[in-house]
Amino acid sequence: MNRRLLKIALIAVIFGCTSSIVAQDIHFSQFNNSPLNLNPGLIGAFNGDYRFVANQRTQWSSVTAPYSTFGLSADANNILNSNIGAGLSVYNDKAGDSDFSTLQIGIGGSYTIRLDSSHSIKIGAQPVFTQRSINYDELQFDNQYNGSFYDATLGNGENFGNTGGTYFNLHGGVSWNYKIAQRKEVSAGFAMHNLLTPQQSFFSENIPLHQRFTLHTNALFAVSDKIDVLPSILFQKQHNYQEVIVGGQGKYHLNNGNYKALYAGIWYRNSDATYFTVGMDYADFHFGISYDLNLSSLNVASNYRGGFEFAIIYIIDRFKPEIKRYRACPDYI
């Protein structure tokens, strides 16, 4: 088999894999740095008034046309001094030579139940509009192999009557947080995505987008004056697919002006990859970078290379002046 035919076969395999996982949702390795994508119950789950998040992920550039995922989200906490939070999220994913694209726009809200000063539960819902499209022109098929080489002028023998579609979806979730003490807290959450199981096929086949169930838990514990540990576990199941991520980070407090803390961590995603993360808290920003090492059966083609992922979080905390109802005068007046 010559190199051209090998390339055609590889693209066919990758496109076939893409078709088989089309029912899987957008996700990030730095799942804690993409809260509105992880769980609608995390809308407004932060210390501050407004939060802005940007995520970008690129993978499989060592195998084929890079798969690229980009996300933007914004949410607000305690709207009008109430227990209500609101959020807007936009995610765009483009995969492979076919430019298989998924655009998701979600508008969500949450309500906080405060059990006491250190316990809280958030319940969230997130309606989502999704648009998907595909470009068949860049794909190569066996009918275009003339016996000696690939000939783009030959017909592919396929009947592609639809290059896109839209559907409406709904996600819901709940999160719990317990702040035990300063630099000591635990949290957990449960989410259900694709509650409406919309039809996503470009053709006449009945192919629903299966519901996805997510469980996640995090903790923060101080181990010294300068160092915290932040373990985390994520479990997701969607139809016949499931994902388990275990790992954590260490946090080193700098307390040097705007330079507040440094992070470094290692994670494992079952039967797929291990990845490393580094990060920094600077002023009101958090920066995160991760890199995946592919451990799946695709490592023959990827040479263990996965991809980079970047995250930026910016939180605005408005100054709230203390209102004093009375003022005590000194005795000597």
pLDDT of residue 305: 65
For residues 138-165, give the mean pLDDT.
Answer: 76
Radius of gyration of the chain (CA): 24
Q: Residue 278 maps to which CATH number?
A: 2.40.160.40
The number of distinct structural domains making up the chain is 1
- pLDDT confidence of residue 98: 75
Q: Residue 241: which domain range?
A: 3-158+170-316
| Distance between CA atoms of residues 215 and 172, nearest Å | 13
Per-residue model confidence (pLDDT) at position 3: 42
* Most confident of the following: 60-64, 234-238, 324-328: 234-238
What is the three-state SS of 188-254? EEEEEECCCCCECCCCCCCCECCCEEEEEEEEEEECCCCEEEEEEEEEEEECCEEEEEEEEEEEEEE
Return the sign of the alpha-carbon dihedral for residues 188, 290, 35, 192: negative
Residue 332 lies in a domain: no
Distance, CA of 105 to CA of 70 (rounded, Å): 12
pLDDT exceeds 90 at position 247: yes
User: Per the domain annotation, does 237 fall within a domain?
Assistant: yes
Q: What is the pLDDT of residue 6?
A: 39
Give 151 or 55, the one with higher predicted confidence: 55
Per-residue pLDDT averaged across 257-266, rounded?
A: 96
Q: What is the pLDDT of residue 136?
A: 77
Residue 278: pLDDT over 60: yes
Predicted local confidence at residue 326, as pLDDT: 52
In this prediction, residue 173 carries a pLDDT of 98
Is residue 8 predicted with pLDDT exceeding 50? no
Q: Is residue 38 over pLDDT 50?
A: yes
Q: Is the pLDDT of residue 135 over 70?
A: yes
328 falls within a domain:
no
Answer yes or no: is 124 within a domain: yes
pLDDT confidence tier of residue 228, bands split at 50, 70 and 90: very high
Sign, Cα dihedral of 28, 34, 37, 42: positive
Domain membership of residue 165 (yes or no) is no
Residue 22, pLDDT above cutoff 80: no
Residue 167's CB is within 10 A of a number of other CB atoms, namely: 14
Report if residue 324 sits inside a domain. no
Across the chain, mean pLDDT equals: 85
Task: Assess if residue 303 is contained within a domain.
Answer: yes
Q: In angstroms, rounded to a whole number, what is the distance separating the alpha carbons of residues 69 and 158?
A: 29
The most distant pair of C-alpha atoms in the chain lies apart, rounded to whole Å, by 106
Confidence of residue 11 (pLDDT cuts 50, 70, 90): very low
Question: How high is the pLDDT of residue 61?
Answer: 58
pLDDT of residue 286: 98
pLDDT at 161: 66
Q: How do residues 115-131 score in pLDDT, each as one tens digit?
A: 998 999 999 999 999 99
Whether 295 has a pLDDT exceeding 90, the answer reads no
Q: Does the pLDDT of residue 169 top 70, yes or no?
A: yes
Q: What is the pLDDT of residues 78-116, one digit of tens each?
A: 998 899 999 999 999 988 777 789 999 999 999 999 999
Q: Is residue 323 situated within a structural domain? A: no
304 versus 53: the higher-pLDDT residue is 53
Higher local confidence (pLDDT), 188 or 324: 188
